[in-house]
Structure 1
């Protein structure tokens, strides 16, 4: 056995980014995905690694099964969640682009755990149905059906007209200015007629208590928030893609981080996703230091 194979840490480390992507997309939580990584590493350390022909496939199977177990408990927690639930935000580097956007992750939440696994492993990570069958314990035909069912549910959530990155950031900057100023005329120009507004505070910080829908309601909500925040400026920490969507990270007047992601279609903002729950922003806080 080579030094890399004999040392569990050395053989696990190169595969960790891929495994983390699988776990995060399955769970929608960086913290939960990190827990799964820890469990997967412990299992890898206890495995006869010399007998594993394809470590990547073996570990993806371990991680997916751990995620399926985790989702049973997560579903119970989500039902008791205070206000709208959003996945933990991932702010991507300049050279990154993720097609698993925030709306798609929300759509995945509505799938069964097995549908989610089949869809992600096949459509996102390019695994064959034979490989998926070995992971989730169903035959290939059943896996194909699971993925097809999932695809039908999430098809509408894929961006129909992905916005060019620079243009997306221009719209995000204009939205930041208009929303902080409470400029209702500018907001009406930026927002789509059927815009939705999600704000996740998790019961830890003030946030909109339900999903706001429609231009009038969203503009009214944003104007009310602007009045509450008058004289309490926020600092822009980063701009870029938040879960694959144009957005920005701000440090608010209370000293805590906040992320805003915008779904843009036909040049208008179709959905606004604001993360305020400090528990879900802890990983970003660590990155800032």
Structure 2
């Protein structure tokens, strides 16, 4: 007798990675995978539906993609009403897990992605795409799903699926978007230098690390004051950063920090206290290209950090963290 749960669990990690790249939301990805499981169980209970499952992995991927497509279409309306800037829910893992697979860490197939965008940078850029383009791009360029299978998931022709992925590829490669091409060693070096420069409060040191067109995006979901528009340009981002850490010092706020991987890319987890006494938890992701930071993504919406373990004062480091 078939063990449905065992068969499905063998595919769960890959499905979670697929859904997360499509949706940019950990909770929505988990819901999509759970719905995929329910449809799988129902299909096996129906002889006619069961006969259509010739290749389990392909069937599950197609089913999950269809579910994600429906979620993306409805998400457009929700995002339009979102307070302030929007960033995806981060997947935070210990630095020690670099290079090892994880349910939400970049899937091995993602290493072959035909774009130099990875991590949070990729998820932010994908928000520019229409739902159908995003599904086609993620399935083909990230997870190497054949266009025939993508066409089936989208309910369109193979030619149309190719066109959707091609348009998405051009959009993701647009020259005005933050680039992230750094390998792990360069990421670590640049982020460590950023930490040292922010700690020193010396603007010139920060400017050497920031690309001229660097952009800083902060998502608080309306819970904390943040810039309602992206901060653009090395001087503006540098001054914003110096002011941010300078305020913490002026108000004698303890700032706990630790290096982490955010969507598989080096970043920071930080905790402090707002001037009104509320605790603030945030994660900061970076995009790095040619030795400079091209984008900084600050996620401090508590609704998107519910699964983030709090920093243990006994184990975390008082700012600055050491790499």
Same fold per superposition (TM over 0.5): yes
Q: In the TM superposition, what whole-angstrom CA distance separates every residue of 1:194-246 from its partner, at most 9, and x where no partner exists?
A: 11111111112332322000112112222222232122132223x24322432
Unaligned runs of 5+ in 1: none
2:222 aligned with 1:203: yes
Unaligned runs of 5+ in 2: 111-117, 313-323
Aligned to 1:271: 295
How far apart are the structure 2 equivalents of 1:164 and 1:131?
A: 32
**TM-score normalised per structure 1:** 0.89
* Count of residues paired in the alignment: 283
2:253 to 196, 216, 232: 232
| Bigger mean CA deviation after superposition, 156-165 or 54-63 | 156-165
2:15 to 1, 13, 19: 19
Q: Cα offset for 1:286?
A: 8.2
How far apart are the structure 2 equivalents of 1:154 and 1:80?
A: 24
Indicate the structure with greater helix content.
Answer: 1
Q: In the TM superposition, what whole-angstrom CA distance separates every residue of 1:42-77 from its partner, at most 9, and x where no partner exists?
A: 212212265322121111111111111111221111
Q: Cα offset for 1:186?
A: 1.8
How far apart are the structure 1 equivalents of 2:178 and 2:234?
A: 20
How far apart are the structure 2 equivalents of 1:172 and 1:90?
A: 18
Q: Is the 8 A contact 1:260 1:272 kept in 2?
A: yes
How far apart are the structure 2 equivalents of 1:13 and 1:161?
A: 32
Q: Cα offset for 1:179?
A: 2.5
Give matches, 1:121-270, under 5 Å: 121-156=139-174, 162-230=181-249, 231-237=252-258, 239-253=259-273, 255-270=279-294
Give matches, 1:39-78, under 5 Å: 39-48=35-44, 51=51, 52-78=53-79
How far apart are the structure 2 equivalents of 1:161 and 1:120?
A: 17
Q: Is the 8 A contact 2:179 2:288 kept in 1?
A: no
How far apart are the structure 1 equivalents of 2:289 and 2:84?
A: 26
Q: Cα offset for 1:160?
A: 6.1
**CA, structure 1 residues 180+278, in 2 after alignment: closer, same or farther (shift >3 Å)?**
farther
**CA, structure 1 residues 160+106, in 2 after alignment: closer, same or farther (shift >3 Å)?**
closer
Q: Is the 8 A contact 1:94 1:240 kept in 2?
A: no
Q: Cα offset for 1:180?
A: 4.5
The secondary structure found in structure 2 opposite 1:194 is: strand
**CA, structure 1 residues 101+156, in 2 after alignment: closer, same or farther (shift >3 Å)?**
farther
The CA RMSD measured in Å over matched residues stands at 2.3
2:99 aligned with 1:95: yes
The secondary structure found in structure 2 opposite 1:225 is: helix
Q: Cα offset for 1:163?
A: 2.1
The secondary structure found in structure 2 opposite 1:229 is: helix
The secondary structure found in structure 1 opposite 2:309 is: helix
How far apart are the structure 2 equivalents of 1:287 and 1:47?
A: 44
The secondary structure found in structure 1 opposite 2:307 is: helix
